Structure formats: structure tokens, C-alpha cells
Amino acid sequence: MLESSSASFLADLTRCFKQLDPTDDATRSAIADLLGLHEEDAYAAPRPLFSPIRQASKDPFQPTSNARKERKPSLPAQTKSNAAQTSNWLPSTLELLSAGEEKWDFGVSPLPMQSSSSEFPELPLEPLFVAQWTRGILSATLSTTSDDGPLDIERIVASLAQNKCQQQLPRLPQPTLRRGVQLLIDKSDGLVPFSRDQRWLQDKLLHIVGPDKLEILRFIGSPLRDVGPGPKSTWSKYQPPLAGTVVLLLTDFGIGQPMFSTDAASISEWLDFAQKVQRAGCPLVAFVPYAPDRWPYHLRRCMAMIQWDRKTNVSTVRRLIGPAHEVKT
């Protein structure tokens, strides 16, 4: 029968005892059973709703003398034995995973290891100048006039007709590359996309001019900020070549300067460089990989600027420079 210690059931039991006035314990027990109460619950003292308040000791941090250490409830022996048996016949998840070797071979060949960037071959280079025209373009751009061409027959005949003594036979001017070339390569951030074209053009110049007539120097921003053939730590102050040597620039004059880059030189700095080269008696030419409408206007009057593009040919160079650079000796 359902046990209950509710105060309402005790009140009902008391009311029944008062009205019926049972004279023996059997009758009282029967009444309690009808109300759903056991006999011991009927006569038991009511349980307090709250635990009694313990009186605090003088020192709240000092435990009482009769305080007992709390112990963790221990499982009965039967429960422990059942738990041990359960752990024996219920393996853990890790045991299940490591029990058998899983088969990962599904008959699919593995992917090859990723290669480093150095193992990938470079894509074929399409140079900015048409390869078949490059030799003619460079020869027309870098040639200077010389007086060792064929004999000038007209001048010789005119001199003989006037009965003049000729100490030296006059000759026709002839384009030549024997005075050499100074190649200045701009290594600024804006020229990074054209680094392969720079190397390609440098190799072409070595074959056309010759290594003994070609001086290769590198710079960043402007040649006035030090130049050199090797690492930047070995660069030194720029010195113009011998008079008559063509100075060739591979630069963009800061047109393609990336954002937040400080490599590009100002127009005044380029003008100072051009004046220094001209005072040394050297022709100055620049190959620019951008359209002419983007070139600095003030620099066009102090040097020959040629678009470094596939549209350029020998005729383009001849219209700009002429048969060759005039050199005063």
C-alpha cells in the first residue's frame, strides 16, 4: 500500500478517530489502512521539514571536535563485482577501433606528391620585341656614326678638280657598334613583371655587341642612387662611360610603380641623370614597356624614348634616331 506522511492524511485519521472512537488497536489499524496509512506511520512522530540549525562554534574556521570526515559512499561488494564483470564483456570504443585493422586499400592509386615551384618549367616567353626583328632594332638603336666607311668618291673628285692636296682620303659615315654600350637595368618593383624580358634582351645584346663591348649595370629607381653589376651591397656611385658609348635604359620611369612603393625617382632626378650622360658625350636611349601617352613629357626632349613593344620595328627606330647617333669626336 502506498506510504505517505502528509499532514492532510494525518488530519483525516485524527478526525476519524474522534468521530468513530475506536476502542482497540485492530479497529484503529483498519481505519488507517482504509486511509492509505500504515499503522507505524500513524503513530510515528512527524518529520521536520528542515534540518536543525547547528550552533556555530566560536571560531568559524575551526571544525568541531565531534565533526566526522565525509566519506564517499562506497558501492556494495555485489555492485563492484557486477561492474568488474561488465567491464570485462563490454569493450570500450578505443578497444573496438584498435581490435581489428581497417582496410584502406580501395584499389585507387594515390595522388603524386606536390612538386616545388622550382620543378615546374617556365612557360615559353613571348618577348616584347618580335624575335625576328630584335637584331635589327638593337643595331639601329645602338649604332653610332664613324668615319671608317667606304671612300667618299664625290669629295675626292671635287678635291682633285680643285687641285687640292689630300692628306687623308675622305670616307662616308657608317653606323657601327664598336664604341660599345652601357646597359642600365631598372630592378624596381614596377619592373618585376618584365624581369624575364630584361634577361632575354640582355642575352641578345651579348650576342650582338659582344661581352667586351657591353657593360651591364643594375639600379633601383634611378642610376644616380648607385649602380652595380652584382648584389646591391656592392653597388657604387654612377660614372658615365667613355664618350661615344651609347647608354641604354631598361626602365618605366615609375609609370608602373605599385601602391606604397618608394622606388620610383622624380622627374627632376631623371633630368639630372640625362644631363650628366649628355655632358659625357654619350647618346641616351630608353626602352619603355608602356605606351607613349604615359611617358613623362619633360623626358622626351632629353633622350630617345622607344616603346618596348611588339609594334616597334626598325622603321620606327629610324624615324626617331636616324641612320645612327651623331657622335662628336
249-261 per-position pLDDT tens digit: 999 999 998 888 8
88-104 per-position pLDDT tens digit: 555 555 555 555 555 66
Q: How far apart are CA 317 and CA 248, in angstroms?
A: 14
Q: Provide the percentage of residues in the chain whose pLDDT is more than 90.
A: 47
Q: How far apart are CA 210 and CA 205, in angstroms?
A: 7
Q: How far apart are CA 228 and CA 180, in angstroms?
A: 18
Q: How far apart are CA 30 and CA 18, in angstroms?
A: 15
Residue-level pLDDT at 150: 79
Q: Provide the percentage of residues in the chain whose pLDDT is more than 70.
A: 74
pLDDT band at 42 (very low <50, low <70, confident <90, very high): very low
Residue-level pLDDT at 110: 77
Report the C-alpha dihedral over residues 11, 16, 19, 21, rounded to 10 degrees.
-120
Q: Where are the domains of the chain?
A: 7-43, 131-321
Predicted TM-score of the model (pTM): 0.61
User: What is the pLDDT of the chain when averaged over all its residues?
Assistant: 81
Mean pLDDT of 34-61: 57
133-157 per-position pLDDT tens digit: 999 999 999 999 887 777 878 887 8
Q: How far apart are CA 135 and CA 38, in angstroms?
A: 121
70-128 per-position pLDDT tens digit: 555 555 555 555 555 545 555 555 555 555 555 666 677 777 776 665 666 778 889 99
- Asked if residue 270 has pLDDT above 70, the reply is yes
